Amino acid sequence: MNTSAALQTTAEDFLESLSQSPGVAQAELINCVLRSCGCNDSVDADQVLDYDGVVDALDDFTEGMKQEDSPTYPLTSKLPVFKKFRKSLSELIERIVLAAAEVGSLYTTDLMVTLQTWVVAMSSSQIRSFRHTATVIALEVETALCEVAASVEKEAEVVGRQREGERKRKASSNKAGAAREKDLEVKAAEVRKRRKDLAEFIKEVVDGVFVHRYRDLDPNIRAECVRAMGLWFRRYPAHFLDASYLRYVGWVLSDSNTQVRLEAVKSLTGVYEQVDYIGSLNHFTERFKPRLIEMATGDTELTVRIAVIQVLSAIDGHELLEDAEREKLCLLVFDEEAKVRKSVSGFVRGVWKDLIQQRLVGKKPSDKDKERTGIRALGILLVKWSKALDKVMEGADDESVSSIEGRSTRIRSANPAAHFIDANQKGRTALAVEALWDEVEAVNDWEALLDVLLLDHSANDDESLDGSPSLLSPTKQNSIDDVWRLQEVEESVLLEVLVATLRRAKIPSAGSKKVSGAEETIISDITRALIKGLPRLFIKYQTDESRILEVLSIPLLMNLDMYLEMRMINAYANLWDDVMKQFLSHSSMNVLLNAAAAVRHFMDATSLSNTNSTKVLELEDELSVQLRDAVAGRQEIEVASFSEDEVLALGAVCARLSVLIGSRDMTTWMEEDEGGKQSSAWDIISALVERGRFGYKEEEKMVEHALHLLGVHIIWKTRSLTNIADPSPDEIRFKETLQEQRDSLVEKLVEYAVGTQSNTADGVKRAAFQNLMNLHILFCPTQAITADGQPLPTASLAMELDDEVQYRCAGYIQSEIEQYSEQFDDAGPAIADDSESNRSDSSDDEGVTVKKTAKSKGSKTTKRAVDKGMITSCNIYSYQFTSRSHLQQEYVFMETISTFLRAIRAGAVHVKHSSVLLAHHGRLGPIFDLCCKIIVDVLREEGMYQENGDIVVAVITQALRESFTLVLDGVVQGEEHSVSLAKQLASSFIIRGAQLSVVRRLDSKFVVQIHTNLLTWIVKRLTTYETNKNKKSRNLAILFFRVMLPLLTSVESRDALKIKAHMDQVVAQSKIEIPPTSKAWEPQRAYEKRLTSIMSKDKAGTKGRKGKGMKSAALVTSDEEGESDGEALGVQSETEAPPRPQPKARPIPRPSAPSAQSPPPSGAHDVQDPNDFQTPTNRPRPRVVYGSKSPVKTPTQATFQDPG
């Protein structure tokens, strides 16, 4: 088909040819169809009209197509010439059908009969090109017929009205009137005949093509059918907007293919816009509403969810959704996907408007009343939806689920300084505010929100809090109307809305880095209003922890310099007092974090430094008084008995100090003893830490905060160290004091973290371990030297972790992993069970989405497709509360793991102990696996740059053995995790450069040693299982050869020969018989075949070098390295010539004495790793950074990451 030809002219020429020689013209049309299918066969004028021979002719064409290796055809071809083919084909068919209808040949010739006979038959062909193209052509014909039928329907209505008019004028009874009536009857009969013909044509396509192909195995064909049905709904609604046709779209809403589901939803987009046919849609709507809501809340594809939300919004426009269904849809305003939240905002606006109208029924409200009613309606809805969402997620932990007031909780770490809030941090309500910003007026009007919140909604008269004249006046504008009087819970959520709105208003354009004049004006307006309103918010909410938490985040949104510009220094001092009051009176960690963030924001205002200095000293003095009052002058704090209230008071003071010291150097305050007249804060806190050895549960948090406080104090103090050649007496005394404090703290940390003499609580043990690692990282000898070899100030106080303590630390990490893995593994089956049950519950008996085949292979494919298809809303929510219930445990666990990992990377802990982490690769989540990748970088550095290949051998061998032992012991199902670990570890053998060239590689003897150690170990295991006749465990152990396959990537011919010889030797010594055809031994045969392949490739390369010259070593290496996984599994490469038959070699007698690496003849289950040596002492060297450079951290950076 010539796409550049004028299609209208082509259609007219065809119709002219049809009128003159029908057979030839129809043959030309069918040949065009065949060419569109990519078929070169043709039919003549006689064949095209032989309807009984169509099937036989198509069988001949099919046989010819099967012999041609041409899978592409015009509809699927990516060639430029076919870029516009689909559009041109559609337009040509439409023009032919419309023109034929206009001239009458559509009804008077065999055009449609011939075309449908051939196309319907082709649409059931086994050849995909025939089936796809014929279906598309049939659907395009049907679409054009719908347009013709719709115009005929209109014509019939006109004729009917004309006949009715003539009957009314029949009273005149003149001849002219009778003649006209007769003409109208003739015309009506002709229209009826055309309607009947068109109905038959339309029915033939639906029954012959659509009902079979809408569930075709090919998702593209299914999508074409559903897309066409959507067009028919719009072109010919009188016929197709019926339950008998709508049900097909409803069934494919459960299709496993994303594109099919998307087309099904798109086909419904315009349906509900046709108001005249809403009555015929009621049955379909009631039946498939649950599925549509399910898709909107839980489909895996974002585009599908957004399209479904638009359809449901249209349905709600006709009041066809129940209140419960509307609520489910409104919950999407809290969805994690921003596009989903944005798409549902229009729907939420409609619900919000409806609620306003309900509350104002029978009222004559003013504009102010309407504004405040809108705010109240927003509060009501957010509270209602938050409660509904909490109910859905009621299986989650209390700390990870938002409270009934709609608050957005944020998970906090045990390390309080690690979580200073950021002004842009977003919770549940903030996400809703962002989505509704452009749709709901009450959301973006921060002035009205502040106005309403400043009123006293508990009062019955006109009273409100004293304050700004702009917000208070003697008129009735501040009287509380019951229509917009806020309940307690609504007031809380609207306070959160206010904070989110202020943040959003402050930064209208998130992409711009430079603040524009308009933005400065907005910030100034916000600050002016808050200067007057914020103190009143403090007074109003100071006793409510959840509300004061939000109020404390407001100062971060203010331009504090305006206090100076407006000469309101006293107001600024009062604001300091308000924040200090909350910091000193609350013990909630969330409140303390927000208050400390506000203090830090104040300290950043350098123009107000005088006030800041005064106030921060007042704060420190108050904290000192609180600390000394809490201990009540006791002399022996370490063993003194404290009442419950005293423990709470001490815990609160320690929490405040640990939060504040994260952003402020308090070393002077910590050591101030007024010339020996009183104990310093360091002494008091140290005494409290001593109580950690008793393991009192009620004192756990107190000791935890105290440990953190002392650790950060040491880090702050280290900043003042100098490395001057001639230090002054003060500097010497400072260094001695620091060393004394550090050593005493480290001693306590070792005892609490990995000691055996104390009964330490879990939280204290964890805090002690993290602080121990941090201090050893700070004072690690390898970290005390710059890249150019110059010593840092910490070099004079460098310390190393004892070898025994390192092993204890590794043991502690092992216990933490085991404890966490129990919780992590318990979550998996719950998710899987929920997924299966929900998938079965949501299935539709009539919704067959994929064509069922007789072959079992097809049914398996179908099942896999369904399994990978949609995720229902129930599944999503099940996963959410499973993940939420473990989120805090995961955070605490990964904080411990990452601390240990940083110690390994810094050199404070020997890399040998990293096998504890590597053994669990693949089973504890993606974050844990990401940590393991850093260990691979460390191993690569040790093996190739530091020439410590023995360490690489020890770590990899131990890690793979421990990883696979989990499989053998039934802890982990399947060897996939171990295989994945082996692939990661194999990357430590080589470093590749440009174009995958090998830049550096680990010495081959170490790679061989890894294989021989692992072979010795696994064969020993196999021997034990064979002796005990444990067939199941033996078959499981054989899978270890799959684990070793990825480790062969860098093996060369000589190395492969050594490895194979060792394998043959240990197998022979163990007297294990390996049947050549046993399926259980397939992994071992694949491993052996891979070794043989490596050896044979080198031989082939040697022969080539003799004849044609020698390849470069780099090229040979690259070829060997770049082998595919298929070869690794024993699949012979197509390019590799089969080896020539070799004469049978004589048997070579094996040596009688075992080699050095052979296992001793013992019945032990395990083999002692020859690389199990004591951790060598780290030698001082220039710092080497694995991955990315890690500079010496400031005290703040060393303990937490500042989000600001």
pLDDT digits (tens, 9 = 90+) for 453-482: 998 877 654 444 444 434 343 334 456 777
Asked if the structure places residue 1043 within a domain, the reply is: yes
pLDDT value of position 68 = 73
pLDDT lower than 70: segments of the chain:
1-5, 69-71, 170-178, 394-426, 459-479, 508-516, 824-886, 1098-1204
336: amino acid identity, one letter: E
Helices (H), 393-487: 428-436, 441-444, 446-454
Structure tokens at 1060: 């194979």
Beta bridge partners of 785: 791
Determine the Cα–Cα distance for residues 134 and 104; give it in Å rounded to an integer: 25
Cα atoms found within 13 Å of the Cα of residue 329, Cβ hemisphere only = 33
Question: Among the three residues 182, 213, 244, which one is the final residue of a domain in this structure?
Answer: 213
The count of domains in the chain is: 3
3-class DSSP assignment, residue 1000: strand
- Residue 1054's alpha-carbon distances to 1005, 1042, 1068, in angstroms, are 10, 21, 21
pLDDT value of position 426 = 62
The candidate with the shortest Cα–Cα distance to 395, out of 47, 46, 877, is 877
Structure tokens at 20: 């003159």
Determine the Cα–Cα distance for residues 656 and 586; give it in Å rounded to an integer: 9
pLDDT value of position 508 = 57
- Could you count the other beta carbons within 10 Å of the beta carbon of residue 84? 12
Identify whether the C-beta of residue 523 lies closer than 8 Å to the C-beta of residue 506.
Answer: yes
If phi over 0 gives left and psi between -120 and 50 gives alpha, with beta otherwise, what is residue 3? Answer: alpha
pLDDT value of position 835 = 40
Question: Among the three residues 164, 185, 213, which one is the final residue of a domain in this structure?
Answer: 213
Q: 12 lies in which domain range?
A: 1-213
For the chain, state the CA radius of gyration.
Answer: 40
Structure tokens at 1038: 């054989």
The candidate with the shortest Cα–Cα distance to 256, out of 287, 228, 285, 215, is 215
- Could you count the other beta carbons within 10 Å of the beta carbon of residue 440? 23
Determine the Cα–Cα distance for residues 375 and 546; give it in Å rounded to an integer: 20
Determine the Cα–Cα distance for residues 106 and 147; give it in Å rounded to an integer: 13
List phi, psi (to 5°) of 753: -80, -50
Question: Among the three residues 161, 193, 213, which one is the final residue of a domain in this structure?
Answer: 213
Asked if the structure places residue 540 within a domain, the reply is: no
Identify whether the C-beta of residue 527 lies closer than 8 Å to the C-beta of residue 558.
Answer: yes
The candidate with the shortest Cα–Cα distance to 430, out of 500, 374, 477, 493, is 500
List phi, psi (to 5°) of 865: -65, -40
The candidate with the shortest Cα–Cα distance to 134, out of 245, 46, 54, is 54
Determine the Cα–Cα distance for residues 758 and 693; give it in Å rounded to an integer: 5
982: amino acid identity, one letter: A
Contacts of 636 (CB under 8 A, 6+ apart): none
Determine the Cα–Cα distance for residues 420 and 1202; give it in Å rounded to an integer: 7
Asked if the structure places residue 1074 within a domain, the reply is: yes
Burial of residue 509 (CB within 10 Å: 0-12, 13-18, 19+) is exposed
Asked if the structure places residue 1164 within a domain, the reply is: yes
Angle between helices 338-359 and 302-317 (to 10 degrees): 20
pTM as predicted: 0.76
Determine the Cα–Cα distance for residues 1000 and 992; give it in Å rounded to an integer: 7
3-class DSSP assignment, residue 991: strand
Contacts of 275 (CB under 8 A, 6+ apart): 318
Asked if the structure places residue 336 within a domain, the reply is: no
Asked if the structure places residue 972 within a domain, the reply is: yes
Asked if the structure places residue 383 within a domain, the reply is: yes
pLDDT value of position 173 = 56
Asked if the structure places residue 15 within a domain, the reply is: yes
Determine the Cα–Cα distance for residues 672 and 189; give it in Å rounded to an integer: 110
Determine the Cα–Cα distance for residues 933 and 941; give it in Å rounded to an integer: 13
The candidate with the shortest Cα–Cα distance to 1039, out of 969, 957, 976, 1089, is 976
- Residue 866's alpha-carbon distances to 240, 277, 606, 845, 1116, in angstroms, are 29, 34, 62, 14, 46
pLDDT value of position 1059 = 93
pLDDT value of position 951 = 93
Determine the Cα–Cα distance for residues 824 and 831; give it in Å rounded to an integer: 11
Q: How far apart are the first and last CA of the chain?
A: 63
pLDDT value of position 1160 = 38
